[in-house]
Amino acid sequence: MIRTVIIPRNRTIRIPVSSKYIGKKMEVLLYASDEIEEDTFHVTKGKADRFKGILSEVEADKYHQHLQRARQEWDRNI
């Protein structure tokens, strides 16, 4: 994988391709780095109240049972 940052001098960009990439499917992204909007998600202890009520009681019970089974499988595999 090759990742680089360039500053175009005109409207044309040429990309030399290494022989090891010939015949392979390539992905090329073009965007201005100052246009990137970073999304960060922080979970702060004590802020769980904002999620209260997001699941119905039935959904919450199913989810809780699923987590219990997953934990039991995890403990069994250790």
- What does the pLDDT read at residue 47? 63
Q: Return all residues near 13 (Cβ < 8 A) that are at least 6 apart.
A: 6, 30
- What does the pLDDT read at residue 73? 86
- What does the pLDDT read at residue 55? 81
Residue ranges per structural domain of the chain: 19-77
- What does the pLDDT read at residue 44? 60
Residues lower than pLDDT 50 in the chain = none
Tally helices (H) and strands (E) across the chain: 1, 0
